[in-house]
């Protein structure tokens, strides 16, 4: 059973809170988490929600309430997680390209840390020696993910310490007696193929003997969810089976046992989210009919930035004749959400909903063109709660300094 909000629920929410609006369904997040828990069904496997997908504190609190841990990509995300009530042992900080003082701050919070460069590893060793167990992020030189922009493990990627520098890692570890507690690899987002995760476990398998104090193997995030009709996501059952077999192989070969960690972002929140917009103008041209909504890439940049497909539905005219429309926004730059998309007939004022808007939707929104970012609403057990107020004009002036 999967819970999606009905068109009627979405229309009522739009009437109550206005548009543009992000709406999240907490029950769908829970359901996705349960799917992971049930598939793996092992105390040895932990899930850390990659909160860069959606950091609203009410979402973080929900994630915590269902027993999921949290992965952060900046020290501020880590502080939001602390604010949301996560214990430090349930917070993971996997950063990239950061100054060492962020790592020091993470240590002072007592959270789990994955280090992503030799330079920071060396600084870490000098300062903490054996006193603070730490993970290292590796770059395995594996090409994976939905498109190059969201691929992070390949041989020209800036992420992680390149695997060919293993001898440097071991040298630094030994020199400073660093307690390397974990190995981390995240090869990309929207990885459908289970074999990609298993390639990473092959890499881990060979590395284990080099790290005598390992406690966890972290495979990152990247589970694919369907965006289009008929599209399929990562086969979680198949992945779980193979990961558990990998655990056994490790135990038999090395007589050692490790926690396996995952950091799903999209998988947990993508399908839980909707962007509700209203049609401002219809414009018929010889090329296409434009339906211009009260949004743009300032609210949902994925279609423009990654050529990502988002299902768009007219929920004000469910029985309307199907016609083709080009859905654009109100930004002074080309902001095409979809070109010539078949939709139920659109009238000005109709509500168009964008599906799969929970992950990297609001989170990548901006105030471009001095427009407000959308408000956010969370639906929990059928009841709706405002979790971020709509911005107002004063918000655009906040922090501005006017010396003249
Ligand atoms: N762990 C690490 C270290 C990551 O860098 C990421 C995503 C994740 C976990 C979560 O990946 P997910 O399960 O959400 O695929 N803005 C892009 C996605 C960028 C992902 C960046 N890192 C998009 O909208 O497609």
For the CA of 270, the closest atom of ligand 1 is 14
pLDDT in tens, 189-222: 999 999 999 999 999 999 999 999 999 999 999 9
- Cis peptide preceding 126, ω within 30 of 0: no
**Considering only CA atoms, which of 73, 37, 36 is closest in space to residue 53?**
73
Residue 332 among the catalytic residues: yes
Looking at the domain assignment, is residue 16 inside a domain? no
Does residue 215 sit in the same domain as residue 172?
Answer: yes
Q: Please, what sign has the CA dihedral across residues 277, 278, 280, 286?
A: positive
Residue 155 binned pLDDT confidence (cut-offs 50, 70, 90)? confident
Examine the fold and report which residue of 240, 265, 290 is the final residue of a domain before the chain moves on.
265
The 10s digit of each residue's pLDDT in 53-64 is 999 999 999 999
* Assigned token pair, 97: 């390209």
Q: Kindly list the distances between the CA atom of residue 24 and the CA atoms of 51, 356, 357, 392, in Å, as whole numbers in the listed order.
A: 14, 10, 9, 22
| Structure-model confidence comparison of residues 148 and 46, the more confident one | 46
Across the range 347-353, mean pLDDT stands at 98
pLDDT at 10: 98
Select from 241, 265, 289 the last residue of a domain.
Answer: 265
Q: What residue numbers bound the domain in which 286 lies?
A: 273-397
Which has more confidence, 142 or 101? Answer: 101
Answer whether residue 29 is part of any domain.
no
User: How many structural domains compose the chain?
Assistant: 2
Q: How far is the CA of 131 from the centre of ligand 1 (A)?
A: 30
Q: How do beta strands 273-284 and 216-218 pair?
A: unpaired
Helix, strand, coil shares of the chain, percent, nearest 5, are 35, 25, 40
In a domain, 91, yes or no: yes
31 is in an annotated binding site: no
Average pLDDT of every residue of the chain: 96
Q: Nearest residue CA, atom 9 of ligand 1?
A: 221
Residue 283 within a domain? yes
Q: How far apart, in whole angstroms, are the C-alpha atoms of residue 248 and residue 201?
A: 12
Question: In this structure, what token pair is assigned to residue 169?
Answer: 């890692």
Q: Are residues 193 and 62 in the same domain?
A: yes
pLDDT digits (tens, 9 = 90+) for 263-302: 999 999 999 999 999 999 999 999 999 999 999 999 999 9
Residue 222 labeled ligand binder: yes
The token pair that represents 47 in the structure block: 């899930």
| Host H or E run for residue 244 | helix 236-254
Considering the domain architecture, whether residues 226 and 356 belong to the same structural domain is answered as no
Alpha-carbon gap, residue 352 to 275, rounded angstroms: 8
Confidence of residue 1 (pLDDT cuts 50, 70, 90): very low
Distance 50 CA to ligand 1 centre (A): 7
Element holding 36 (H helix, E strand): helix 26-40
What letter would DSSP give residue 374?
P
- Which of 214, 242, 265 is the last residue in one of the domains? 265
Output the DSSP codes for 74-95: SHHHHHHHHHHT--GGGEEEE-
306 annotated binding-site participant: yes
Beta strands in 15-159 (DSSP E): 21-25, 45-50, 69-72, 91-94, 112-115, 134-139
Atom of ligand 1 nearest to the CA of 220: 1
333 annotated as belonging to a binding site for a ligand: yes
> Residues 363-400: pLDDT tens digits?
999 999 999 999 999 999 989 999 999 999 999 999 99
pLDDT digits 0-9 by tens, 75-97: 999 999 999 999 999 999 998 99
Q: Which residue out of 33, 47, 52 has the highest number of ligand 1 atoms within 8 Å of its CB and is therefore the one to mutate?
A: 52
Taking CB atoms and a 6 Å cutoff, what residues make up the pocket around ligand 1? 50, 53, 71, 94, 150, 152, 186, 189, 220-223, 263-267, 302, 306, 359-360
Q: Does one domain contain both 255 and 320?
A: no
- pLDDT for position 40: 97
Å from CA of 223 to ligand 1 middle: 9
Strand extents, DSSP E, 227-380:
259-262, 273-284, 289-293, 312-314, 322-328, 336-344, 351-354, 375-380
Residue 11 lies in a domain: no
2 confidence band (pLDDT: 50, 70, 90): low
Question: Do the Cβ atoms of 94 and 184 come closer than 8 Å?
Answer: yes
Read off the CATH number of the domain in which 373 is found: 2.40.37.10
Q: Rounded mean pLDDT of 153-179? A: 93
Distance of CA 17 to the CA centre of its chain: 26
Residue 150 has pLDDT above 80, yes or no: no
Q: Does 282 or 151 have the greater pLDDT score?
A: 282
Atom of ligand 1 nearest to the CA of 263: 9
With CA atoms as reference, report the closest residue to 110 among 79, 136, 84. Answer: 79
Say whether both 239 and 284 belong to one domain: no
Identify whether 150 is part of a domain. yes
Largest Cα–Cα separation, the chain: 72
Identify the pLDDT of residue 204: 97
Centre of ligand 1 from the C-alpha of residue 163, in Å: 21
**Do residue 391 and residue 248 come from a single domain?**
no
Q: Would you state the pLDDT for residue 48?
A: 98
- Residues 199, 50 within the same domain: yes
Kindly state whether residues 296 and 374 are assigned to the same domain.
yes
The per-residue pLDDT for 41 is 95
Cα separation, 301 vs 230, whole angstroms: 23
Residue 145 has pLDDT above 90, yes or no: no
Handedness of CA 118, 120, 122, 124 (dihedral sign): negative
pLDDT tens digit sequence for 314-344: 999 999 999 999 999 999 999 999 999 999 9
Q: Which atom of ligand 1 is nearest to the CA of 190?
A: 15
Mean of pLDDT values over 144-155: 78
> Tell me, what's the pLDDT at 279?
98
Quote the ligand 1 centre to 145 CA distance (angstroms): 10
């Amino acid at each position: 059973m999967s819970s999606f909000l009905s068109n009627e629920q979405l229309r009522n929410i739009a009437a109550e809170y206005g548009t543009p609006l992000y709406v999240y369904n907490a029950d769908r997040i829970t359901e996705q988490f349960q799917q992971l828990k049930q598939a793996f069904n092992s105390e040895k496997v932990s899930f850390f929600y990659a909160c860069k997908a959606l950091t609203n504190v009410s979402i973080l609190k929900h994630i915590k309430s269902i027993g999921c841990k949290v992965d952060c990509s900046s020290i501020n995300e880590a502080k939001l997680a602390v604010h949301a009530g996560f214990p430090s042992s349930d917070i993971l900080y996997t950063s990239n390209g950061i100054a060492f003082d962020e790592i020091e701050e993470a240590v002072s919070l007592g959270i789990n840390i994955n280090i992503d460069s030799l330079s920071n590893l060396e600084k870490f060793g000098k300062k903490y020696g054996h006193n603070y167990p730490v993970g290292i992020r590796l770059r395995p030189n594996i090409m994976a993910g939905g498109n190059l922009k969201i691929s992070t493990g390949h041989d020209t990627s800036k992420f992680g310490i390149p695997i060919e520098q293993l001898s440097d890692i071991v040298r630094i570890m030994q020199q400073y007696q660093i307690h390397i507690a974990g190995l981390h690899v995240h090869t990309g987002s929207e990885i459908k193929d289970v074999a990609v995760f298993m390639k990473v476990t092959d890499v881990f398998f060979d590395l284990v003997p080099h790290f005598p104090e390992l406690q966890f193997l972290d495979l990152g995030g990247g589970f694919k969810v369907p965006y289009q009709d008929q599209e399929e996501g990562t086969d979680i059952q198949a992945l779980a089976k193979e990961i558990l077999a990998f655990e056994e192989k490790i135990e038999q070969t090395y007589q050692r046992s490790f926690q396996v960690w995952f950091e799903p972002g999209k998988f947990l929140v993508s399908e839980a989210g909707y962007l509700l917009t209203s049609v401002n103008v219809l414009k018929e041209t010889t090329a296409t009919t434009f339906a211009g909504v009260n949004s743009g890439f300032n609210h949902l940049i994925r279609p423009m930035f990654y050529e990502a497909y988002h299902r768009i539905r007219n929920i004000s005219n469910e029985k309307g004749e199907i016609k083709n429309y080009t859905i654009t926004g109100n930004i002074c730059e080309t902001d095409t959400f979809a070109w010539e998309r078949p939709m139920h007939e659109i009238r000005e004022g109709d509500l168009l909903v964008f599906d799969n808007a929970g992950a990297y939707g609001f989170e990548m929104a901006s105030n471009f063109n001095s427009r407000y970012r959308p408000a956010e609403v969370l639906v929990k057990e059928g009841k709706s709660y405002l979790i971020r107020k709509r911005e107002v004009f004063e918000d655009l002036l906040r922090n501005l300094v006017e010396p003249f």
